[in-house]
Amino acid sequence: MSLLESPSFETISSTIKSTAHSDGNYVLALTSLGNYYVSSASSPSNAIHLFDKSSLQRVQTLKGHDNATTALRTVKRVGGSDHHMLLSAGKDGCVIAWDERSGAPSMKMAASGRSRTLLSCDASHDGLTVAAGTDLQKEDAFILYWDPRKPAVPLRVHGSTHSDDITAVHFLKNSPSPTSGQILLSASSDGLVSTSNTAEDDEDEAVLSVGSWGCSISQAGWIRGSSTAGIWATSDMETFSCWSNELDMLQNCDIRHPSVHSHGRTWVTDYLITCQNTKRSESNLAVFVGSNEGDVALLSSSNVADSSAPWTINSVWAGGHAGVVRSVLWDENHEVLVTGGEDSKIITWRCAFPEHSLTSDDSALDIDSAVLKRERDDDMDACESEPDGKKVKR
């Protein structure tokens, strides 16, 4: 694999705002809700915090789950609601839709009978179906479905799609086909990615396609707007894969392999943080990776479906975190990147859309990919402190 440097590449070491979880817990997940950035905290806090986007001041704290918040996302609607809502899952066996105005759950969905740890959740585009994936208990892992208008008991339970922890569930959204909104992508530690028809009661009939990766899958999602590549997934071994809508594997690579060492600049990936579809270039996927020192880089491929296509490094955000960055949110509307780490910090950074739209082209610079000792970018030495402690470029 080769790595190209974007013509508009830059290292950003000046933050906009910074705050932290007061209890010192990890920042596990980040999402956006209206005028707020929202974070979930690790145990023992388990709280969900809302921060004003402009000031990054904490404006509200939700209790979260009784036993670890495992998933946090913003959905367009749930049940009869007509506005975006926070949806979370937890080890207490519940999916909660939150009313941030009252600070309390507006809806709570739980499995009937024995409580099961829930690891992932999502709501359909119309808000009439909520899905969640459980961990493995004994020999069973389940996908639970609720009609949120009747949250007391699951609408249906599918128990043979996966045989280990179900780490991701995502409904297909923004599709022109009215029936596509019923399709659910699921991924698991059993190494399988699957698509299912959530309107089908019979599980054998519900499963549409299955792909086997052969390694434990930690994250997965849909790739919006791509005619060939439909799904991305990442493993616990920091590998990245791309799949067709029929779950034929198109690419399988170690995301740590491509590296940069040129003109005094060094970048080596230690782990993959997450992937995000870009609004301004629907055929491309933004891949955020991190270093053990706490820096974050944005990588992209000119064609994620082509294993021979080079990767491009677009930006590096350096010097903000001390240690592993657990979560990243790209707020494209405000040209802001939000990062959260194991150091409990939440930081906002300038993040303009790359001039060359996340693609590598003939003007990109080929970079030596030898893995060498990491060095801090020279840009850090070209910074000085202002009285308020912020760093600016000279």
What CA–CA distances, in Å, run from 281 to 4, 204, 275, 284? 19, 37, 14, 6
Query: In this model, does residue 152 exceed pLDDT 80?
Result: yes
Tell me the two tokens of residue 299: 């990588």
pLDDT in tens, 261-275: 776 678 889 999 999
Q: What distance in Å separates the CA atoms of residue 336 and residue 342, rounded to the nearest whole number?
A: 20
Mean pLDDT of 110-134: 91
pTM for this prediction: 0.87
Report the phi/psi class of residue 155: left, alpha or beta, with left for phi > 0 and alpha for psi in -120 to 50: alpha
Q: How many domains are contained in the chain?
A: 1
Mean pLDDT of 286-293: 95
Give residue 216's pLDDT. 98
Buried b / exposed e along 357-367 (16+ C-beta atoms within 10 A): bbbbeeebeeb
Predicted confidence band of residue 364 (pLDDT cuts 50, 70, 90): very low
133 residue type, one letter: G
Predicted confidence band of residue 174 (pLDDT cuts 50, 70, 90): confident
Give residue 4's pLDDT. 84
Mean pLDDT of 40-68: 93
Give the domain range for residue 51.
Answer: 3-393
Predicted confidence band of residue 375 (pLDDT cuts 50, 70, 90): very low
Mean pLDDT of 228-244: 91
Predicted confidence band of residue 228 (pLDDT cuts 50, 70, 90): low
The region of weakest confidence among 27-36, 95-104, 219-228, 324-333 is 219-228
Tell me the two tokens of residue 313: 């490094």
| Domain at 41, CATH number | 2.130.10.10
Q: Which has more confidence, 54 or 103? A: 54
The region of weakest confidence among 23-27, 167-171, 250-254, 367-371 is 367-371
- Name residues whose C-beta falls within 8 Å of residue 380's C-beta, 6 or more positions apart in sequence: 11, 13, 318, 319
Give residue 358's pLDDT. 56
Tell me the two tokens of residue 159: 């128990």
Q: What distance in Å separates the CA atoms of residue 288 and residue 85, rounded to the nearest whole number?
A: 25
* Inter-residue contact 5 to 365 (CB < 8 Å): yes
- Name residues whose C-beta falls within 8 Å of residue 149's C-beta, 6 or more positions apart in sequence: 79, 80, 128
Query: In this model, does residue 373 exceed pLDDT 80?
Result: no
